Chain A
């Protein structure tokens, strides 16, 4: 089982290597990187490329580690007991399986995505140490131990909002997705818009990288923003010449709202352009 990128995901050499190391040694792979560089996409693409089912667990600030394993639905049981339902005798009826339990039970090897692990409470990763290491956990209510039939391939993504504990890190492989260089980006665009005209792409990339260079932006546009922008350019059928208005940086690129998502950034950008015009 080896991952080599896919038809709609361009993986750099070091990324494929990290994925393959995780596949071979059956260890979780922790992915960090700028927002919009395809961290979440990776798990989906690996699952699709290897033909494995994917289980997704999206983490929020209120998520508890326990919820990934199972939850005990006490309220239903309480209600059933008051109505005299015979189901109430067996507590197993009220155990709701979480994502990890479903993945552990899967008959084939599978892929698990734990998305944005840094959103949860600081203790969250510590509560999953044993589960991810041994791929098993104990259900106290029914006194059974759930063990993975096949060790799932676990992807964990993080936006670096919180530090992860050392003990957790030690159990993972780690890869930092860097912002792609010009060639990789051209490849990525090619994968998403195969019919894109060469000159439009060149002009668009020019504008895009120039925009990323603007100092002081709160959120630099990333790959996913570029792809959205290109989609809009295509839909509006903007000719490449419109992007070129190469009169220095004096022109606002059309539909720049797709690239700059922050009001302050748009203001800053417009002010810079205004200044560039004054200086001409």
Chain B
């Protein structure tokens, strides 16, 4: 029997990081905010209110489209999509239909072997988010709720919907795609791309086919709130469909929900009872005409994109792809790398330092590199000392921590810690070594008696000296001093 291959297409909703909503001037903050406090007649859909397009959202969406090499439509139309639900104030969502903002782009993903695969983007369009229902049950689920309340703070928040062609061939690749897209929107600063918080939501269409045969019935999988959930849901769905096919059962075209607790997908709606959304052009919004010159400007204004930075770090800095990957994962970090190098830090030291110390601090504090309380030039200065061997890595970490803690420069931190940035060498070093040797005369005797065949005891003494000198001695010099004295 032939092996089945999965055919996957994604629909991704990205909440845009604009200050105000898609069609009104209400704040887009809705997490941890008093219910229905960021609302107005427009996002509440009150009779008589009219929408006005948020230009910033258009700009953000065009930037994303351009980064994915989409064709931006200079004339685009907003449609009304109708369905009744209590979280949808107007009982229609302003969305786009047959003339979306952009079409025909692509985003490349690479697999484990480093081979790249091009995933085609079918369309990118803008729409408004719905509100949220708060159910009275302890679990927050609708089932069994005595009552439900509507919070419209999220209603009208701009959403960018990105639809791919069914070019994705595995659950892993789907995960990689979303991860790339998330990285892109973060680079562009158009969204925080937080899947857990719901600012990036993925619906997947998956079917299976035997090579050379026609596409199978497709199933839509929803409710995956992390990259891991996405991958697992698609793996599960692939296996489920494969088993069904092997048992000769038909695959039903339906919507299924991923249940993160039990790790299965559950059927929620058959496509046969699919709703008729009665799309038609919103008569309150004239067709949106985007000036070609604006598109050119936005194109010129695009930042260096993640894959471009990655390539440059490998070719210009000579970094391995693994190193470059880590350094370019976040734009703020990649920018810091460039700045440190510009300030004179060595590529090697800067790369190591960022991947260990800086990322640790950024993750611990949940901040971006721009928010570090020390100047980049100071960090570069610190790395220079490490590079010249004036400070050991251990000492440098202490210095760095103090710099962060007190927002002070390198010089001050070194002084407070009682370090000197010069090397401890010559007679000064010799004095320390003499002290260590005399305090450990038993070990010295053993070495002299030839009992240190593996050189462990010499290393032991060396370690004590390094500790005594707070790492400011050159290990080679220490070793040669010890050898000559024994």
Query: Are A and B genuine complex partners?
Result: no
- B residues with a Cβ closer than 8 A to A are none
